[in-house]
Amino acid sequence: MSKKIFSILFNKLFMIVLIAIVFLYFLNFKWINNFDINLGLVPLFFVFSIIRNKVKLFFNQTKIVSVLIFFMYITYFIFGLFSLEIGKSLNFVFLTKVIEPSSWTIYWNLYGLSRVLGIFNTFIFLNLLISEIKIEDIFSLPLDINKLKYLILGKSLFNSAKDSVEKIDFFIDMFPCYQLEQKKLSFKEKFNKKLLTVLGLVFFVLRETIIQGEMIDNRIENCHNKQSNNN
């Protein structure tokens, strides 16, 4: 039992999860109102993606999360538009200076921007971190195959999803409304196009979950279990 716990604690996958928990705690609680840190993390993640040869992943994930953060910011913008009041406002840090909002409109705009940056950095960080996990790292965990299969499915879906964004964009570009020559897309049309990409990705992942899940179960049933019985 102690050997099993020891091998889990010093497993690469466990260390990655531990780093993610610690970083996300600071990012979403300690640093959430600090614009200096949140803005500084964006180029840091980009440089990391260059070093690890994951620039395509960085931009593909930026396309996906841009729709989410747009809706988020619009929500907070509406709160500011109506000067929605809460019990106590928060202070923000920008260029090492503490900013005390002078009105609820300014407060909600700063609050929305800080949350949008936090969500963006969290999403990009998690995707870059998950991309560092190899299938061998999952198999190295001292767990039963029936528990490992969920991690295997998650990693497989992540790989499928990140490789499918460009293909989905390609097929959306084939729509007649985007095939007109010398047509400049309006902001609404660009936003609708990105929304189609996100929806296409959601349906793709749902479909792949069923297909790959059945394939993994079939492989376990016909290969792994039979091999275990023979041994």
Residue 131: the pLDDT is 79
Residue 4: the pLDDT is 52
SS3 98: strand
Residue 218: the pLDDT is 84
Model's pTM, two decimal places? 0.72
Residue 225: the pLDDT is 58
Q: What is the DSSP secondary-structure string of 140-187?
A: TS-S-HHHHHHHHHHHHHHHHHHHHHHHHHHHHHTSGGG--TTPPPPH
Residue 91: the pLDDT is 80
Tokens of 69: 């953060």
pLDDT tens string for the chain (231 positions)? 455 554 554 567 777 888 888 888 888 888 888 888 888 888 888 888 877 767 777 777 787 788 788 888 888 888 888 877 776 777 888 877 888 888 888 888 888 888 888 888 888 888 888 877 787 777 777 777 777 888 888 888 888 887 787 788 888 888 877 776 556 777 777 778 888 888 888 898 899 899 888 888 888 777 765 555 555
Strand-pair partners of 98: 93
Any idea where the domains of the chain sit in the sequence? Answer: 2-131, 143-230
Residue 230: the pLDDT is 54
Alpha-carbon span 121 to 62, nearest angstrom: 10
Residue 228: the pLDDT is 53
